[in-house]
Amino acid sequence: MKCLEQLVHLKAKLFLILLLIIFNFSYGKIIIEFKGVSYVDSPSITLKNIATVKSENRNLLNYLNSIKITDLKKEKERISKDLVLKKLEENYISPTDIVIKGNFTIVVIKKTKVDQAFLKDEIKKYISNRYKNIKIENVNIPKVNLIFLGKPKIKFEEKRKTDRYIYFDIYINNKRISATTRYYQVKKIVIAKKFIPKGKEITLDDIKLAEHKIKKDERYYSNIENAIGKRAKYSIKEGEAITYKNIEDIPLVIRNTNVEVIYIRNDFIVKIIGRALQNGKLKDIIKVRNLSSGKIILCEVIGKNKVRFISGRD
């Protein structure tokens, strides 16, 4: 089994060597220019970190840039030309086809300061990637001032999530810090484009769709067409959400106006005039005074200024 694995590995190497030979003959020389000084985030150093590599073949260029040179043991180290040549040969790149400019690069691992501001930014990134409908109001995190060599590994672990808060444990290179985030949910809903006075009929000029803060126990309009034609129950400020509470259907029957009352008995229909004692929308049951008898009757609203008799009332 081991012999078979070695044979497969050898074939892969030979295939790679063949490709690189073809690349070198077909696309001219490779130019590697040392950077002099390079600041990196990780101790794992590739050729791209320490030199500018030029090749006419993009695939070969990507391969060269990805070649690992070393792992830094110190914050600051000198990477020599000899080490680079050695690593190139180990990766089947012939030195005879390479032009190297410079003799070394000084590599410095950047230090990362981890404080409250840094962690707040990381939390915001985490939440924006994980939750598309959440906006942060506040982040509560203890005072912290840590320095790491290179970019630290950061891991988030959610302990609990409520309607308003997310409780975290943040691991920074295995160091644990607790944090709490207060948030609100957003959704694309219908909002007021401008001030809408009480009683105004809603038109397309009054409203628009926009992302807006929402409450769990509130009902919102997510379709503009469903809000058009209704009227403002209260004055609505510019930018305010349009809800089922602040707009309403325009009544088909207005209080203290005359309405047509329709009596239907079997196939017999009688129409009289009555006076509405209440506002009424379609299918609402309202009180109407029979102007002939003076009696109050209950009627169902069936159209504009039209009601259907249901029952009499003293």
**pLDDT tens string 133-186:** 999 999 999 999 988 888 888 999 999 999 899 999 999 988 899 999 999 999
pLDDT above 90: residue 10: no
Structure token digits, residue 119: 């962690």
Read off the pTM.
Answer: 0.58
Structure token digits, residue 75: 């914050």
What residue spans of the chain are helical by DSSP H? 2-27, 47-50, 58-66, 81-90, 116-130, 224-227
Please indicate whether residue 31 or residue 5 has the higher confidence score (pLDDT): 31
Structure token digits, residue 19: 């490709």
Task: State in Å, rounded, how far the first CA of the chain is from the last one.
Answer: 101
Amino acid in the structure at residue 258 = N
**pLDDT tens string 266-276:** 888 999 999 99
* Mean pLDDT on 70-98: 89
What is the 8-class DSSP label of residue 121? Answer: H
What confidence score (pLDDT) does residue 29 get? 75
* Mean pLDDT on 78-90: 92
Residues 255/276, Cβ–Cβ less than 8 Å: yes
Q: How many other CB atoms are there within 10 angstroms of residue 183's CB atom?
A: 20
Neighbouring-strand partners of residue 261: 272, 307
Q: Please state which of the ranges 1-10, 64-73, 124-133, 299-308 shows the lowest mean pLDDT.
A: 1-10
Domains of the chain: 2-109 (2.60.480.10), 113-185 (no CATH), 189-247 (3.90.1210.10), 258-313 (2.30.30.760)
Rounded Cα gap, residues 281 and 300, in angstroms: 9
> How many Å separate Cα 51 from the centre of its chain?
37
For Cα atoms 20, 24, 27, give the angle at the middle one, nearest 5 degrees: 125
pLDDT above 90: residue 224: yes
30-34 vs 98-101, strand pairing mode: parallel
Candidates 218, 213, 155; CA nearest to 187 is 213
- pLDDT band with cut points at 50, 70 and 90 for residue 188: very high
pLDDT above 90: residue 314: no
**E runs forming strands in 164-251:** 165-172, 175-192, 207-214, 231-232, 247-248
Residues 260/306, Cβ–Cβ less than 8 Å: yes
